[in-house]
Structure 1
């Protein structure tokens, strides 16, 4: 799938926090993003969510991610927030409810190509009993429908 997206990631850095640890939290879940320090926050840009999608697959939280994305969708993309401490450990934990005292990692995804829903399908495909429905995303070029076990 060919897509064109802009991902903006913002994580507040409070006086009590070590900037490098916040940068590690961002890099652990968004390794393609290069964070820079701007006015009390780390800001990073990326143009892919492939590594992030891989983490969603590994943690088997595609349904949760999909629900969060679709609940926060607009005409141009979607947004979500992550817990900083979990991200520091390389774990995706969506922030819902009361905000954390130290803030959360805010992610804004703007989709140019394809449409927003197709990109959500790519990053967090629908599942059936926890397995992705789209075997091409799961297996990439290695997928051969002739050999698939259904």
Structure 2
């Protein structure tokens, strides 16, 4: 199945932070992201979530990911926030509730092909007793 998505990643850079470390946090989860420096933040574009999907499988947090993805989903795509400190270590930790003092990495997905639900099923498939199952 062909997946056509646009991923927009925005991460604030506080005065106390090293910009390159914030860029590393983004690249750890989105290795193909093209990052631009803007005043006080980094903005990145990517067209794949394969590395993130692999990490979700490795960390065995597919159910959590699905819940977060569907929580802020609509017909166009979905959004979620990640903790910067965890991302710097290559770990996915969804940010829920109030943002971290350093700010969260905000990810906005626009799904062109297939539909949003099918794409979420691809990135974070449903599970049965913790094991991914084919949604068909």
Alignment of 1:18-29 (within 5 A): 18-29=18-29
Tell me the equivalent position of 1:123: 123
SS of 1:121 mapped into structure 2: helix
Any gaps of 5 or more consecutive residues in structure 1?
136-150
Alignment of 1:7-22 (within 5 A): 7-22=7-22
Higher relative contact order (CA 8 A, sep 6+): 2
Aligned equivalents of 1:2, 1:32: Cα separation in 2? 18
Any gaps of 5 or more consecutive residues in structure 2?
none
Q: Which runs of 4+ in 1 moved over 6 A?
A: none
Q: How many residues align?
A: 135
Aligned equivalents of 1:128, 1:32: Cα separation in 2? 31
With normalisation by structure 2, the TM-score equals 0.97
Alignment of 1:75-94 (within 5 A): 75-94=75-94
The structure with the largest alpha-carbon Rg is: 1
RMSD (CA atoms): 1.0
Alignment of 1:1-150 (within 5 A): 1-134=1-134
Q: Deviations over 1:9-60 (max 9, x none)?
A: 0000011100010000000111111212112111110011011100000000
Tell me the equivalent position of 1:140: none
